[in-house]
Structure 1
Amino acid sequence: MRAIPYILTFSALVMLLITACDQPKDTQTGNEVALQEGVNALQTDGPVEPQASTARQIPGSNEASRVSSRSLLDIVESNSDLSTFNSLLQKAGVAESLSGTGPYTVLAPTEAAFLELPDSLRDNLDSPKHRELVQQLLNNHIIAGRLTTSDLQDGAILKTAAGHQLKVAKRNDKVQIGHAVIEKPDGMSSNGVLHTINKVLVPLKETAL
């Protein structure tokens, strides 16, 4: 009679094992179910957008990836239509900033843009005695952060490294910053983005050069 409890206990263990073996293989614990539901939520709520910085640095083409490995200064130096801008950056000591980590947004005036300046102003840009004012002029073309044309919203106010404000205006396919229109947008680099513009953004106090 003493063996009966042991037999019953053994029988109960066997039944538990059989029941466990009959369960579907994908049976999950409460924690596993919650985790899986979280994964399903990501999959069913639509695609997860990449972070903006990643999307901009690697737009999806081999050419874009190659360009993005170069600094802003590299891009300026390699563009013959920005030779005056590059020369002033070097002489005024602002070029080093464009080799830094950043990121920066650079509004680079073309050769034609500099030719439109008054002779009195253009002739004095290379003068050593105006170095600090030229630095202010150049810094008025540099904005902290990486701002592509898709980031620039109509009516937005941008503060330049010189401390001045520039208003953004977007009309159809044209983007205007201050009184300058972007001619070649979104030149991606490792430390920012460069937009080629058709005017020199001269702060009021620099007009006295």
Structure 2
Amino acid sequence: MINKKRLSVILSVFLSIFLVAGLSNSNAQDSNVVEVINNSENHTVFADLLDETGLNDVVSQAGPYTVVAPTDKAFEEMDANLEDLRANSDSLESVVISHLFQGEVAAQKAEASLGIEIQEGGIEASNGLVHVVDEVIEN
């Protein structure tokens, strides 16, 4: 589980960036990025990991955020490494954070930044974007 000090730092950084940027997304759908992921049949594992780390509480805030969401298939390909990851809360948090961006990041920029291929990009949410990938970004 994410420790309170680390969560406080993450929340402070995200809040500071949001306040400085002064960005809003008034024409997005009603669901936030966490709800978009939770409502997807193909992202149950990532939804669970967001919850396990407590980062779902962070990225369900006003944002904007961009979430690069690995499919369940991507996590299945990790085999036993997924259980090892879940057993180490620091590693789990690090991997989940590597799928999150502060601000709205276009699919093409996220691909270049992360060295991945986005399968479906630009799913709008009330507080940002969700991009779908078939791989897990591991540190």
Aligning the two structures, in what range does the TM-score lie when normalised by the shorter sequence?
A: 0.7 to 0.9
1:99 equivalent among 60, 64, 68: 60
SS of 2:129's equivalent in the other structure is: strand
The CA deviation at 1:180 is 2.5
Q: Which residue of 2 aligns with 1:79?
A: 40
TM norm structure 1: 0.51
Q: CA deviation at 1:143?
A: 0.8
Please list every run of at least 4 consecutive aligned residues from structure 1 whose deviation after the TM superposition is greater than 6 angstroms. none
Q: Do residues 147 (structure 1) and 105 (structure 2) align?
A: yes
Deviation at 1:148, TM superposition (A): 2.7
CA distance in 1, matches of 2:127, 2:30: 9
Judged with a 3 Å threshold, the aligned counterparts in structure 2 of structure 1 residues 200 and 101 are, in CA distance, closer, same or farther, namely: same
TM-score (norm 2): 0.75
**SS of structure 1 residue aligned to 2:44:** helix
The answer on whether the counterparts of 1:179 and 1:199 sit within 8 Å (CA) in structure 2 is no
Instruction: Specify the structure having the higher radius of gyration (Cα).
Output: 1
Aligned pair in 2 of structure 1 residues 148, 178: CA closer, same or farther (>3 Å)?
A: closer
1:189 — aligned with what? 125
SS of the residue corresponding to residue 31 of structure 2 reads coil
Deviations 1:151-172 (A, max 9, x none): x35xxxx6xxxxxxxx61xxxx
Give the Cα–Cα distance (whole angstroms) in 2 for the partners of residues 94 and 109 of structure 1. 15
Query: Gaps (5+ residues) in structure 1?
Result: 1-52, 59-64, 159-166, 169-176, 204-209
Over the aligned positions, Cα root-mean-square deviation in angstroms equals 2.1
Give 5+ residue unaligned stretches, structure 2: 1-22
The count of residues paired between Structure 1 and Structure 2 equals 117
Residue identity over aligned pairs, in percent, reads 21
Larger RCO, structures 1/2 (Cα 8 Å, 6+ apart): 2
